[in-house]
Amino acid sequence: MTGPLIGSVDTRLLRVPLKRPWAVDVVDVGIIEVVVTAADGSVGKGFSWTPTIGAEAVEAFLRYDIAPFVIGMPAYPEVWQQVWERVHEAGGGGISTIALAGLDLALWDLVCRSRDSSLTDVLGRAHGSQPTYGSGVNLHYSERELGQQVQRWLSAGHRAVKIKVGKPELAEDIDRVAMVRDLIGPDVDLMVDANQRWDLGRAVTAAEGLSPFGLRWLEEPLRADDTQGHAALRRQTDIPVALGENAHTVHRFRDLLETGACDIVQPNVVRVGGITPFLRIVALAREYGAELAPHLLPELSGQLALALPETTWVEDVEDAGFEDLGALRRPTGMTISDGRISGVTRPGLGFDFA
């Protein structure tokens, strides 16, 4: 690699309140803006992100461990592997990969700006738009509130919706899913997400109870690291299983796919360490014939989805996009309308934090 070298890495932590809290103790998100300045004066801006927990630790990891290590390295995303091998000493995933994503996104932004192009177009635009699905953290909603949310998704044009399950009594989950299916009708896809609330026995029973509702997928029914449990469940249900929002490395995704633990993989581009490993996970999903549905962050996940030849569902969590939360000085250029995401950013990734 020849070209500019990294001259400095600067960080800034933003605490952004959620308009719709995800739980009593999840009321905001931490966004760590990362600015890489190359020795030639070129600049790239990226970010790390985490709901409520760990933002200060992520920023400290960037400031004290990643930044000093990368000064003088080429200002290209290809340095990712070398940096990951270094930070792996503090853990293969979690804070280490979430922090590394901030650097990786900033380097991709710098490269895209240098080419006067958007991320999608640098990767190779394959679609004008991709489908989105309405999503929300709504297990604590009353049935009436849940129904109102579903109606908002339908009014926005979504042709697929996802709700939370995992109530203490399975009968209540079944009632809520039945209500939503009645609201959306047979032609709108319905996904459910248990957020790791069940053990294998409960998951098998729940899947049997939910099977009549024609679910598009069942997400994280067991603890995220219970690979064998998910593989066992998948053998006992006809509902496709979706996993990956809490997997942090390509190695972990390979384990999930090799063991037959899931049908759909859901990498979160920040949690896996950035765009560079996300693209490796995309290739891995293709190798195993698995569907890919990126987790959260539609303003970034959508840019990536537009560069993938496959139809790729992008998650649109109600009132949780950075623009919706007022975290940006100006829109990225990505828009969701009539159940699809489209658009083009200014040169780079398009994130200009307030």
295 in catalytic set? yes
Alpha carbon distance 197, 236 (integer Å): 18
List Cα–Cα distances, 67 to 6, 34, 55, 56, 307, in angstroms: 9, 10, 16, 15, 30
Tokens of 95: 């804070």
Burial class for 338, CB neighbours closer than 10 Å (0-12, 13-18, 19+): exposed
Q: Give Rg (Cα) of the chain.
A: 20
Which helix (H) or strand (E) is 153 found in, with range?
A: helix 143-155
3-class SS of residue 34: strand
248 in catalytic set? no
Which of 162, 230, 248, 295 is labelled catalytic?
Answer: 295
Alpha carbon distance 317, 4 (integer Å): 38
Q: How many CB atoms lie within 10 A of CB 91?
A: 12
Which of 45, 127, 162, 164 is labelled catalytic?
Answer: 164
**Active site amino acids:** 164, 295
